Amino acid sequence: MNDIALVLWLERMYRRLRDTIQTRTIPALQSYFEESRTGAEVVWSRSPAHIRWFVFAFLFAAASRFWRLDMQSLWLDEGATWAEVTGKSYAVLARELISPDAAYPLYHLLLKGWVDLGGDSEFWLRLPSALFGALAIALLTLFVPRQPQRGFLLVLAATAPMFLWHAQDAKVYSMLLCVAVGLTMSHWRQKRWWALLLVLPFVHRLGFLMIAVLLITPALQHTGRRRTAYSIAAFCAGLISVVGIVDSIRAKAVLGAPTVFPLRSLFDLVARFLADRRWDDQIFSLPVWLWILPLLALLLLGTKQAVDAARTGNAQSLQLLFLAYIPVLMIVLSYGTTSSFDARYAVFSAPAWFVLMTNGASWTVHNVRLGKRHYSFVRVGRMVLLLAIAVNLVNLFEPARGIFSGAPVKEEWRVVMRELANRVNRNDVVVLHPPYALPLYRYYRRVTPDPLPRPVMFTVFSEGYRGSSTDLVAQREYQRRSFDVQFKAAVAGKHRALLVIAADHAAQIDPPIDAQSPYGWVGLYFQYPQKTWPCGGLDRYGVALLCQSFPSIAGTADAPQPEKRIDAQFGEELTLRGITIKPLGIFYQPNGTIPIELYWQARQPPLQNYHMFVHLCQRCNEPPFAQNDGPPLMGYGEAGMTKTWLVDDPVHDERSIVIPKYIKAGNYAVILGVYDDSGKRLPVVSAEGGVLGGDRLIIATIRVINESVIIR
Determine contact, residues 216/322, Cβ cutoff 8 Å: yes
- Rounded to the nearest 5°, which phi and psi values hold at 345? -65, -20
Residue 531: strand, helix, or coil: coil
Enter the pTM of the model.
0.87
Q: What is the pLDDT of residue 379?
A: 67
Instruction: Say how far residue 187 (Cα) sits from the centre of its chain.
Output: 37
**109 closest CA partner among 131, 129, 134, 92:** 92
CA distances from 466 to 461, 463, 472, 481, 651 (A): 11, 8, 12, 13, 42
Q: What is the pLDDT of residue 80?
A: 94
Residue 593: strand, helix, or coil: strand
DSSP track, 376-426:
EEE-HHHHHHHHHHHHHHHHHH-TTTSTTSSS--S--HHHHHHHHHHH--T
Bond prior to 148 in cis (omega within 30° of 0): yes
Structural domain contains residue 558? no
**392 closest CA partner among 126, 667, 153:** 153
The count of other CB atoms within 10 Å of the CB of residue 400 is 10
**How many domains does the chain contain in total?**
6
What residue ranges of the chain have pLDDT lower than 50? 255-256, 366, 377, 465-468, 708-712
Q: Are residues 530 and 397 in the same domain?
A: no
- Cα separation, 293 vs 387, in Å, equals 10
Q: Which amino acid is at 13?
A: M
Q: Are residues 61 and 129 in the same domain?
A: yes
Q: Are residues 199 and 209 in the same domain?
A: no
Q: Are residues 199 and 210 in the same domain?
A: no
Helix/strand/coil (H/E/C) assignment for every residue in 539-584: EECCEEEEEEECCCCCCCCCCCCCCEEEEEEECCCEEEEEEEECCC
Last residue of a domain, one of 410, 444, 470: 410
Q: Longest C-alpha distance within the chain, in Å?
A: 103
Domain range enclosing 650: 564-711
- Cα separation, 275 vs 160, in Å, equals 7
Q: Are residues 189 and 226 in the same domain?
A: no
Helices (H), 119-160: 122-141, 149-158
Beta strand 428-433 with 496-501 is parallel
Q: Are residues 87 and 151 in the same domain?
A: yes
- Cα separation, 667 vs 196, in Å, equals 65
- Cα separation, 418 vs 406, in Å, equals 20
Structural domain contains residue 532? yes
Q: What is the pLDDT of residue 708?
A: 45
Q: Are residues 123 and 180 in the same domain?
A: yes
Determine contact, residues 657/638, Cβ cutoff 8 Å: no
Structural domain contains residue 57? yes
Last residue of a domain, one of 549, 578, 599: 549
Q: What is the pLDDT of residue 364?
A: 62
Structural domain contains residue 559? no
Determine contact, residues 76/437, Cβ cutoff 8 Å: yes
Structural domain contains residue 247? yes
Q: Are residues 405 and 428 in the same domain?
A: no
- Cα separation, 267 vs 289, in Å, equals 9
Q: Are residues 38 and 70 in the same domain?
A: no
What DSSP element (H or E) covers 272?
helix 262-275
Structural domain contains residue 154? yes
Structural domain contains residue 554? no
Q: What is the pLDDT of residue 540?
A: 93
Q: Are residues 432 and 390 in the same domain?
A: no
CATH number of the domain that residue 698 is part of: 2.60.40.770
Structural domain contains residue 557? no
DSSP track, 161-194:
HHHHHHHTSSSTHHHHHHHHHHHHT--TTSHHHH
